[in-house]
Amino acid sequence: MLDPALQTLLLPLQSDAVPLNATDRVLLSRARYAPELSVLDKEQLACEQSFAPDRDKLQTAGYTVVPEAETSDFDLVLVLPTRQRQEARAQLARAVAKAKPGGWVIAAAPNSEGAKTLEADLAALLGAVDRMSKYKCRVIWGEASGSLNRDLLAEWQALDAPRPVLDGAYVSRPGVFAWDRVDAASQLLADHLPEMLSGTGADLGCGFGFLARTVLERCPKVSVLDLYEAEKRALDLAQQNLKS
């Protein structure tokens, strides 16, 4: 299956608009697999991905994937920001912070998913940026140089930090499904939850843990509840919320 945003993300490298040396350290944030990734040597590429289906495809293709890279000072950071505005800005800020001084940052998004805003946001962080459009997507790139807006960088890095939601009853963060509210389907299920539930159960797609905690609070005969979630960011929050 074609991935237009990822294909567009790699255009500055394929066209030599952004230089890439064999010894450069490269980070791909919110990484997804596509055959075009072969433009990058697997030995020089670090992949960040906390969403299990995308992580599994990359690992099957032979790439090393971690939820978050611990090291910084990358020569090149590529990022495919998500659609949620606060999370996307935090991802851009993280990409810039992971690049070494003089390193390159490249970001791409579909035109229908905020590419124009993405360009404005990266320009606000880096100053001058270049752009290219193809496959109904836009790719923007620039250098992490002395014109970096460090105040804005610090502000945006904190945008997706976990925080209290639902009057402080839970902790959540932007980018997680229905991150600051209870979605209608979950609320409907919670409102009709039978209290006689007992034994062992599972929450498939637990999000930040609203339904799982509701079951444990209202159904004392439930002895074990396993949580399943494709997004590690959400699963970490659910585990935290079930401890409270």
Condensed to tens digits (0 to 9), the pLDDT of residues 166-207 reads 999 999 999 999 999 999 999 999 999 998 999 999 999 999
Strands 99-110 and 137-143: antiparallel
What pLDDT, on the 0 to 100 scale, is given for residue 1? 52
Virtual torsion, Cα 110, 111, 116, 117, nearest 10 deg? -50
3-state helix, strand, coil in the chain (%, to 5): 35, 25, 40
What are the residue ranges of helices labelled H in 62-218? Answer: 85-98, 115-126, 150-157, 184-191, 210-218
pTM of the model: 0.90
Written as six digits, the tokens of 17 are 């608009």
Residue 173 is encoded by which pair of tokens?
């963060």
Query: What single DSSP character describes residue 228?
Result: E
pLDDT of 70 reads: 87
pLDDT tens for 25-38 read: 999 999 999 988 98
* R_g of the chain, CA atoms, integer Å: 20
Q: Say what the pLDDT of residue 244 is.
A: 61
* Six token digits for residue 48: 């960040």
pLDDT score at 122: 97
Buried b or exposed e, range 97-111, using 16+ CB within 10 angstroms: bbbeeebbbbbbbbe
Residues of the chain with pLDDT under 70: 1, 244
26 vs 28: CA distance, rounded Å:
7
